Amino acid sequence: MGTRIETAARPKVPAVMLTGATQHLLQDVFQRSDIFAGVPAIDKRIVVWGAEARPVTLPHAAVVISEQALLDRIGPQLAAPDSPDTQEAGWRILTARPLPAPSVEREFGAHIAAASAVKLKAGYDAHACWVESLENGWLFLLPIGEQSAWLLSVGDLPDDLLAGSRLVGDQIVEVSASRGKFPAHPRIADPLCGEGWLACGTAALGFDPLCGDGTGNAVREAILASAAVRAIADGADTSPVLAHYRARLLGGFKRHLEICQEFYSRGRCGEWWDQELAALQLGIEWSTRELADAPASRYRLNGFALEALASS
């Protein structure tokens, strides 16, 4: 079956931190071992999490790259010629909004993040990232070059969070104006798919950056979405294939909410955290109900193909 790629204009993320698992996944998908050659590495994270917590240094294994740089590295392999087969099949994998009606976005939380370029003090550890919880939010500091880093401020305004910081603020010499704000709470499209379309990536799910590997998750969704479309094109019944796709994404979203709940419970420092925890609980309850009503899966993903389960 042929494919056609259409791009949508949207702001690019200035920096993403990719875990070892996501690096291996991308290398496997694109059959390339050099995707992350020369990319800055992070081998530890320094954390203050909780009102009375002291700094803790933990091992980490990740790389830092901008979204545009990552797209530039894998872009040539994403290109695909126009094909009438795609138009005849009539299926679209949507990675950007808007989604077809009646899909809406369900939100479980209300916290907003701001990304700011910062200059680090001399002698900083270029292979460490810093994470800190505060009364009205949290901070994440990620080095990207010589004395340069991105500061993610979630909850309160960056200046207000830095004013109460015991860890992150001590690493910074200068903070530039925020490059903009964006929602950082968990979100999910409902429904996630329908006749002729499937939502994938940020069009389908929005993860809290504290607990979510959005890039890795988007790649896994894309593998499943393409396998679903291929199975339907090969003659599989549409409804059970779409039900399998929806259930897999719902299950991943519920796990993300539960991980967020655990982290937010440990970091809670005041009313802001209580509000976000209440929203996460609502999301877990909603996801649990939706999964309980989902039909039993009739498929499994084997590599890049969706296989029918043997009848009992």
Residue type, 62: A
What's the token pair of residue 204? 């389908």
User: Sign (positive/negative) of CA torsion 216, 222, 225, 230?
Assistant: negative
Q: Averaged in consecutive runs of 10 residues, what is the pLDDT profile of the chain (312 residues)?
A: 63 84 95 93 96 94 92 74 49 94 96 95 93 97 91 96 96 91 95 97 94 89 96 96 97 96 93 97 98 95 93 55
E strand or H helix at 264: helix 238-267
Per the structure block, which two tokens stand in for 144? Answer: 């990207």
Q: In 3D, which of 211, 304, 287, 210 has the Cα closest to residue 246? A: 287
Tokens, residue 17: 């931190």
**pLDDT for residue 84:** 39
Cα R_g (the chain), whole angstroms: 21
What single DSSP character describes residue 185? S
Tokens of 169: 């603020």
pLDDT number for residue 79 = 53
Instruction: Give the pLDDT score at 312.
Output: 42
Task: Look at residue 86 in the predicted model and tell me its pLDDT.
Answer: 41
Of the CA atoms within 13 Å of residue 101, those in its CB half-sphere come to: 0
Secondary structure class of 121 (helix, strand, coil):
coil
Q: How far is CA 11 from CA 8, 181, 184, 206, 266, in A?
A: 10, 11, 15, 15, 33
Dihedral (Cα; 14, 19, 21, 22), 10-degree rounding: 0
Instruction: Identify the helix (H) or strand (E) that includes residue 228.
Output: helix 214-233
Q: Where are the alpha helices (DSSP H) in 124-204?
A: 158-163
